[in-house]
Structure 1
Amino acid sequence: MLAYVYSSTHQKADLMEVSTPELSEGGAVIKVLACSICGTDLRTYRYGSKKLDDGVVLGHELVGQIIQLDENVKDFHVGDVVSIAPAIGCGECRSCQKGFTNMCDQLKTIGFQFDGAFAEYMAVPKQAFQMGNVYRLPESEDYSIYTLSEPLACIINAQSFLKITKGDTVVIFGSGIIGCMHAELALGSGADRVFLIDHNANRIQELRRILDGVDFLNPKETDIFEEISRKTEGNGVDVAIIACSSGQAQEDGMNLLGKHGRISLFGGLPGESNGFIDSNLVHYKEISVFGAHASTPEQNKQAMEMIRDGVIHARNYTSFQYPLGEIDKAFQDVDARKIIKATIVNNTI
C-alpha cells in the first residue's frame, strides 16, 4: 500500500510502498477515508522532528472504516466508520488516573509512536480501544468533515481554561484553521467581540465570507494596539489566544490584555521559546497564562458532536482535498498559505 513515511536520517517524509498492516490482538485495521494535514505535520515537513520514530507513517487527524476487528473488541463492528483521539494514555500514571490522559507520562500518539493515517490502511492499536480513544461517527454524506474533530478537541481543551463567557472581548493571533475555529467557539460561548489578527490580506479577505461577527485586523495596515484600545474603551481584551508559532504574537497578546486577562499560548514555538512573557504584567494585572497540549477522548467526542450539530462549520475548511498520491503538493499548498486546510482523501464509502 502507499504511505507517507518519515525518515529520521533524512528528517523528511516520502510517499512509498509499504506492507499493508496486519490485525493485532485486541485491535483493528481501518481503511483510511480521510486525514487532514495539521500544523504539527507542517512543522515536520518544514524542519523535520526529533519526536518521531524512524519509519513511522505520519497523519493523525483521521477518519476510517473498520475492515478487520479482533473478536475481543466490544461495541464495534466491521463496517463502522470511526475516528480516533490520537493521544493515547497508559491509564495508570497519575495524570491518567485524574482524567488528563493527554498529559500521560507514557503518552503514545497516532502518527508519532503508532503508524498514522497518511496511508491507504492503518492499524488501530489495542490501547486505543482500551482507553476509549476510538469512537463511532454518525452517518454522513461527507465523512471528511470529522477529520477536524481532533484539532477542534485541542481548541476545546485550550478554551476550557479560558472560561470565555458573555461580555468578553477576545483577540486571536493567526487566521489558520485553528484561529478560525477558536473564533467560532469563542463566539459560540458568548463573547461580545472577537478580533482576528493576521498579516495576510488575501487570507483575511477570504475569511470575511465565512466568519460572521469577527473583526479582522492586519498589523501591516492598522495599529492593532490603538484600534483595540479604541474599540474596548481603553480596557484591553479579556482573552488573548496565540494560534500561531510566533513569540512576537505572545508578547503582543500579553500587552493587549486588560486587568484579570487570560492568555492561551496555543501555538508552540520552534527553537528558542524564552523571553516573550512579561512577569510584571502577570503580576500587576493579575493575568492568567495557560498552555494547552493535545486533548482527551472525551473532548474529541464533544468536538465530533459540535461538527455534527453545525456549531462549528467544518465544511468551510475541508473543501481542499487531495488524493494520497498528491500529498507533497498538498503540503506545498499549505506551506505557501494558498489554502487554509488540506485533506488527504482515499476512497469514499
Structure 2
Amino acid sequence: MKQAVLTGIEEMHVADAKRPAPVADQVLVEIEVCGICGSDLHIYKGGHPTIKPPTIMGHEFAGRVVEIGPNVKAFQIGDYVAGIPGVGCRKCEHCLQDKFNLCRELKVIGGYFPGALANFTLVPEYNLIALPERFTATEGAMIESVAVAVHAVGRMESVTGKTVAVLGAGPIGLLIIQVLKAFGAKLVATSDPIEGRREIARRLGADIVIDPVKENIVDRLKDEAGDIGLDAAIDCAGLELTLNQALNITKHGGEIVITALFAKDPVFPMRLLQRAERKLLGTQMYVREDFEVAIQLVQEGKVKFDDMITHRFDLDHTPEAYQLAVSRSPEVGKIVIDINK
C-alpha cells in the first residue's frame, strides 16, 4: 500500500508501506476519500503545539471495512464507515459521559496515530460510525466537518428565531451557515474578504453577505438588523479583528462562539464582554451525537458540499495538494484526496 508521510515541516512524501493488520478492537478501513482540514495545515506548517513530523495526517475520511479484530462487535467486513478522529482515555469523567472531546488525554487519529492519507488505516471500533449506503465517499468524508459545525451551533443556548453572524466563510463557516438555517435561525449574516466565498455563502443560505474590506460590518449590521445587535456571532476566522467585531455586533446578553484556531492570543476590550454580560463560548471538536445529527442533515439535503469543494487530488499527488492548501490562494476552497481512485 501507499501512504503520504509528513517527514518535516512542509515536507511530504508518498511512500510504500506494509498493509497493517487489526488486533483486539481495531478495524482496518480501506480509505476512499480524505479531506484536508485547517488543523492539518497547522501540523503541516509546524504550528501545532504537540503533533510534529514524522506523522501520517488525515482525519476527515470515509471508506470500507476490510478486516476486523477479534473483539470487534459493531462492524462487519464491507460496512461503509466514517471516522470519528478524537481518541479519549475512555476512563475519565468526560469520556464516561461520552464527551471524549473534553478528555485531558485527548489524542487525534491523523496526528498522534496514523491517519487516512493512506490506502488502509487502522481505527479503533469506537472511532467509527456507520454511513448510509447511498452516501458518496465525499459526503462520508465531509461528515466530520459537518459534525464540527453541528457542535459549534449546539454551543448556543438556542437557534430557532435567532439572528447570528458567521465571521469567516471558509469551509467550516459555510457549513455553520447551513446548520444554522437548518436549525431555524431567523437571520444569518456572514463576512469574508474573498468574493468567491461570499458568493457560495449566498447560495447556501446566508441572508446578509458582507465584504469586510469595503464595508464596516458593525454599521452594515446595524442598518440591516437594528441597533440592539445580533443574538450571536460565531468566529470562524480566528483573528483579533473578528473577535472584536463579534463583541461589537452582538446584543447585551448575546453569545460569541469561537470555532477557529487563533495563531496568537488576541487582545480585546473585556468591558464589552463583562458589562454587557455577553457569553464567550469555546468549542472543542465534537461528540458522537454530533456525527449522528450531521448524517441526518446530509440525508435530508439540508447541508451540501458541491460548491465548497474546489480541488481534488489522488494520493500520489497529496504533496501538491498540501502545497496548494497553504498557498492561501483565493480560488482555493475545500480540497479532498481521492485515495483509491
Check if 1:193 corresponds to 2:208: no
For 2:95 and 2:212, the matched residues in 1 are separated by: 42
Indicate the SS of the match to 2:45: helix
- The 8 Å contact of residues 282 and 288 in structure 1, kept in 2 or not, is answered as yes
Equivalent of 1:290 in 274, 281, 285? 281
Moved more, 37-46 or 158-167: 158-167
Q: After the TM superposition, which residues 54-73 of structure 1 pair with which residues of structure 2 at under 5 Å, given as runs?
A: 54-73=53-72
- The 8 Å contact of residues 175 and 196 in structure 1, kept in 2 or not, is answered as yes
Q: Counterpart of 1:256 in structure 2: which amino acid?
A: I
For 1:240 and 1:108, the matched residues in 2 are separated by: 29
Check if 1:246 corresponds to 2:245: no
Check if 1:32 corresponds to 2:31: yes
Indicate the SS of the match to 1:315: coil
Corresponding residue for residue 75 of structure 2: 76
Provide TM-score, normalisation by structure 1: 0.91
Give 1:61 deviation, angstroms: 0.4
Alpha-carbon spacing, 1:50–1:287, altered in 2? closer, same or farther (3 Å)? closer
Alpha-carbon spacing, 1:332–1:13, altered in 2? closer, same or farther (3 Å)? closer
5+ residue gaps, structure 2: none
Corresponding residue for residue 224 of structure 2: 231
Instruction: For residues 113-168 of structure 1, give each alpha carbon's deviation from its aligned partner in whole angstroms, at most 9, with x where no partner exists.
Output: 110001111111xxx32xx3311111126221121111211222221121343331
Instruction: For residues 284-310 of structure 1, give each alpha carbon's deviation from its aligned partner in whole angstroms, at most 9, with x where no partner exists.
Output: 211011000111122122212221221
- The 8 Å contact of residues 33 and 338 in structure 2, kept in 1 or not, is answered as yes
Corresponding residue for residue 145 of structure 2: 151
- The 8 Å contact of residues 175 and 203 in structure 1, kept in 2 or not, is answered as yes
- The 8 Å contact of residues 172 and 196 in structure 1, kept in 2 or not, is answered as yes
Alpha-carbon spacing, 1:331–1:168, altered in 2? closer, same or farther (3 Å)? same
Alpha-carbon spacing, 1:245–1:4, altered in 2? closer, same or farther (3 Å)? farther
Indicate the SS of the match to 1:326: helix
Give 1:48 deviation, angstroms: 4.4
Corresponding residue for residue 6 of structure 2: 6
- The 8 Å contact of residues 177 and 201 in structure 2, kept in 1 or not, is answered as no
Check if 1:203 corresponds to 2:197: yes
Equivalent of 2:165 in 167, 171, 174? 171
Alpha-carbon spacing, 1:85–1:265, altered in 2? closer, same or farther (3 Å)? same
Check if 1:20 corresponds to 2:19: yes
Give 1:318 deviation, angstroms: 4.0
- The 8 Å contact of residues 95 and 103 in structure 2, kept in 1 or not, is answered as yes
Instruction: For residues 285-340 of structure 1, give each alpha carbon's deviation from its aligned partner in whole angstroms, at most 9, with x where no partner exists.
Output: 11011000111122122212221221211333346321111223322333323232
Instruction: For residues 174-230 of structure 1, give each alpha carbon's deviation from its aligned partner in whole angstroms, at most 9, with x where no partner exists.
Output: 11111111111111222111111011123323443x323431100122121111011
Equivalent of 2:210 in 203, 217, 221? 217
- The 8 Å contact of residues 166 and 177 in structure 2, kept in 1 or not, is answered as yes
Check if 1:316 corresponds to 2:334: no
Give 1:87 deviation, angstroms: 0.3
Corresponding residue for residue 138 of structure 1: 132
Corresponding residue for residue 118 of structure 2: 119
Q: Counterpart of 2:243 in structure 1: which amino acid?
A: Q
Corresponding residue for residue 297 of structure 2: 306
For 1:25 and 1:161, the matched residues in 2 are separated by: 35
Indicate the SS of the match to 2:189: strand
For 1:26 and 1:161, the matched residues in 2 are separated by: 32
Indicate the SS of the match to 1:162: coil
Give 1:263 deviation, angstroms: 0.2
5+ residue gaps, structure 1: none
Q: CA RMSD in A?
A: 1.9
Corresponding residue for residue 273 of structure 1: 265
What number of residue pairs does the alignment pair up? 339
For 2:159 and 2:48, the matched residues in 1 are separated by: 37
Indicate the SS of the match to 1:320: strand
Indicate the SS of the match to 1:314: coil
Instruction: For residues 233-267 of structure 1, give each alpha carbon's deviation from its aligned partner in whole angstroms, at most 9, with x where no partner exists.
Output: 21111111111131211111111111111001110
Q: Counterpart of 1:90 in structure 2: which amino acid?
A: C
Give 1:90 deviation, angstroms: 1.7
Give 1:279 deviation, angstroms: 2.0
Give 1:93 deviation, angstroms: 0.8
- The 8 Å contact of residues 200 and 308 in structure 2, kept in 1 or not, is answered as no
